[in-house]
Amino acid sequence: MISRTRHQLEFIGELVSLTFQTLKASLSRPFYWLRLLEQIVELGQRSLSITIVIGFIMGLVMTLQFGYGLAKFGGTLYVPAIVSLSLIREMAPIFTSLLVAGRIGSGIAAEIGAMNVTQQIDAIRALGTSPVRVLVVPRMVAAMLTLPLLGILATFVGIIGGAIIARSEFDIAYGFYVNKVLATIQLHDVFSCYIKCMFFAFIITLFACWRGFNTKEGTRGVGEAATWVVVRSSIVILISDFFLSKALILLFD
């Protein structure tokens, strides 16, 4: 029990240390702009199509469920407001982040883990450079810039999906749907989506990079690192979502 607690405290301590190292490296020279650009393209390219699909499906399903649910109480006309608000505040940030955790987080852990077991991380240090600066900073900054945009995109595509179902299933006109959405979503809702996605991006890359740096046992360890990141970061994303939602509601509502 004591050993387990000690292990957990060490883990938290190492995450905090990595956060400070990353912050320090982000704010000092040299900054690897080209690597950042590569990571943004990589992250965006690998997540774009799946984000669109997920966002669209979310919009379809939520509109269908809310539409039939609210129809029982004569509340069908509230569907655009409820769907759009749910999407931007909760569903889009959460689903996009879980998706990125699965796709990008595991990729980062596997890549850095493979570099670690093949002594490439040691080589970065031996050549007089910092692995945090070279590997962590570009990935973390790229994720924190890109994931919010993917979250907004997922919301936008979800609203389109919702409008199509609202028209076909509940006979809600496109114009009415769009007006209701625009009247419901406030700037602070967009901001909430942005903040959540940025925080989740930070969690995913922090966990992925830490696990990559601590990968042992060759290729087996690399596989385990990828799985570990998906599980741990998904749990932390879901738990922290509750507290973030509460904080953002207190702040804006």
Least separation in angstroms between residue 67's CB and other proteins is 48
Residue that has been written with the tokens 């922090």 in this structure: 206
**CA distance readout (Å), 26 to 16, 31, 43, 172, 216:** 15, 7, 19, 49, 27
Measured from the CB atom, is 19 or 245 closer to other proteins? Answer: 19
Measured from the CB atom, is 34 or 187 closer to other proteins? Answer: 34
The yes or no reply on residue 220 touching other proteins (CB under 8 A) is no
Least separation in angstroms between residue 181's CB and other proteins is 43
**Alpha-carbon span 35 to 129, nearest angstrom:** 15
Least separation in angstroms between residue 23's CB and other proteins is 15
Short-list 75, 61, 51, 65, CA closest to 180: 75
Least separation in angstroms between residue 118's CB and other proteins is 7
62 to 81: interface string for other proteins, x by CB under 8 A = --------------------
Which range in 97-105, 113-121, 185-193, 238-246 contacts other proteins by CB under 8 A?
113-121
Q: DSSP states of 192-227 as a string?
A: HHHHHHHHHHHHHHHHHHHHHHT--SHHHHHHHHHH
Measured from the CB atom, is 117 or 248 closer to other proteins? Answer: 117
Least separation in angstroms between residue 111's CB and other proteins is 9
Contacts to other proteins from residues 159-198, by CB under 8 A: none
H, E, C per residue of 139-172 = HHHHHHHHHHHHHHHHHHHHHHHHHHHHHHHHCC
**Alpha-carbon span 95 to 86, nearest angstrom:** 12
Least separation in angstroms between residue 134's CB and other proteins is 9
| Residue 48: both structure tokens together | 């774009």
Q: Are 160 and 174 in contact (CB under 8 A)?
A: no
Contacts to other proteins from residues 118-137, by CB under 8 A: 118-120, 122-123, 125-130
Q: Are 148 and 44 in contact (CB under 8 A)?
A: no
Q: Are 251 and 127 in contact (CB under 8 A)?
A: no
**Alpha-carbon span 234 to 230, nearest angstrom:** 6
Which range in 5-13, 97-105, 111-119, 185-193 contacts other proteins by CB under 8 A?
111-119
The residue count for binding other proteins (CB under 8 A) is: 14
Q: Can you give the binding site for other proteins, defined by CB under 8 A?
A: 30, 114-115, 118-120, 122-123, 125-130
